[in-house]
Amino acid sequence: MAAVIDKVTRVAGGKFLNMDLIDFTDARGIKRKWEAVSRTNSSGAALIIPRIVPDDAFILVRQFRAPAGKMVLEFPAGLIDPGEDAATAAVRELSEETGYNGKVVSCLPPGNSSPGMSGETVTLVAMEIDGEYYKDHAPAAHPEENEDIEVFTVPRNELANFIAAQRELGVGIDAKLQTFVLALNY
């Protein structure tokens, strides 16, 4: 027998998140409860892995994340708006957060980033940015009013050291960024 969801009860709803209580029956037939959060007005998120070519550098952002209670270093990312696909959201979010424009080179299927807490999916979108163009054109970000984002371009061979230096400063490091750097160096 597979586990099945019996009922989902909305405990609280906010502008961006909902809190749900999930009643389910596990694979052994035992009734259980689980607390979870879900997004409002979004089909998931797009996480952008933006690589500047031919420089072989990556664009990272650092911003205050209230749930973490500190600045967090991460790849640019954003919610997928209703009616939007992940690639379109990635292009939009990269421009808004960093001022860079690029082309989508691949999109992975959506995956769960924190399945013990949320059913939210994240689609990884690889993008290439023309480094030659940006030697003569400064990127101009257009963050939302509530966003205070710092943008960094970090060469591939300096990623691990840059992240270590940020950690030493007390900056939180997004686990997806750490996973990427581990895979690069594995």
Query: pLDDT for 99-112, tens place per residue?
Result: 999 999 999 999 99
Provide the strand spans (E) within the chain: 4-13, 17-25, 31-39, 45-53, 57-65, 70-74, 77-79, 103-107, 111-112, 121-130, 149-155, 172-173
pLDDT given at position 100? 97
Strand partners, 49: 126
pLDDT given at position 184? 92
pLDDT given at position 179? 95
Q: Which CATH class is domain 45-185?
A: alpha beta
pLDDT given at position 147? 78
Beta carbons of 44 and 80 less than 8 angstroms apart: yes
Q: What is the mean pLDDT of the chain?
A: 94
Query: pLDDT for 141-174, tens place per residue?
Result: 887 777 789 999 999 999 999 999 999 999 999 9
Residues in the chain with pLDDT values less than 50: none
pLDDT given at position 23? 97
What is the residue extent of each domain of the chain?
4-39, 45-185
pLDDT given at position 35? 96
Burial class (CB in 10 A: 0-12, 13-18, 19+), 96: middle
